[in-house]
Amino acid sequence: KAGVTQTPRYLIKTRGQQVTLSCSPISGHRSVSWYQQTPGQGLQFLFEYFSETQRNKGNFPGRFSGRQFSNSRSEMNVSTLELGDSALYLCASSPSLGARETQYFGPGTRLLVL
């Protein structure tokens, strides 16, 4: 069974731009969660999607948004990029809503904002 895939793996943007990251979950997994990982703050939860609806949200500004498609694939968007948005963005999929104890992570997208 294929794992969680994320594209692109690396991205360089400049301040003020916007970016879209993509995540394909494990086949059959319906829940997708997004996390931001930085050296200073560690791993922080952004949001969780299930059945095309955002079910849970972390403490991030509205510039961070996402969506989920009917095939469970998910995208995350960050608008008006700031230098502090430079991070590894991780996507994780799990079989059902809230089943974070059985989530599987993708390799991440490393975003650098200049």
Partner 1 sequence: TQLLEQSPQFLSIQEGENLTVYCNSSSVFSSLQWYRQEPGEGPVLLVTVVTGGEVKKLKRLTFQFGDARKDSSLHITAAQPGDTGLYLCAGPPSGTYKYIFGTGTRLKVLA
Nearer Cβ to partner 1 (4/81): 4
Rounded Cα gap, residues 60 and 82, in angstroms: 13
Beta strand pairing call for 109-113 and 10-13: parallel
Residue list 79-98, contact with partner 1 (CB under 8 A): 90, 92, 98
Other CB atoms within a 10 A radius of the CB of residue 40 amount to: 6
Q: Is 42 among the residues that bind partner 1 (CB under 8 A)?
A: yes
Strand 104-105 and strand 87-94: the pairing is antiparallel
Q: Minimum Å distance from CB 16 to partner 1?
A: 27
CB of 44 to partner 1, least distance (A): 8
Q: Is 107 in the site for partner 1 (CB under 8 A)?
A: yes
Q: Which of 5, 1, 2 is nearest to 92 (CA)?
A: 5
Longest dimension (CA), the chain: 39
**Shortest distance (Å) from residue 80 CB to partner 1:** 26
Q: Is 101 in the site for partner 1 (CB under 8 A)?
A: yes
End-to-end CA distance of the chain: give it in Å, rounded: 37
Residue 79 vs 88, nearer CB to partner 1: 88
Q: Determine, following the binding rule CB under 8 A, whether residue 15 of this chain makes contact with partner 1.
A: no
Q: Smallest distance, Å, CB 86 to partner 1?
A: 15
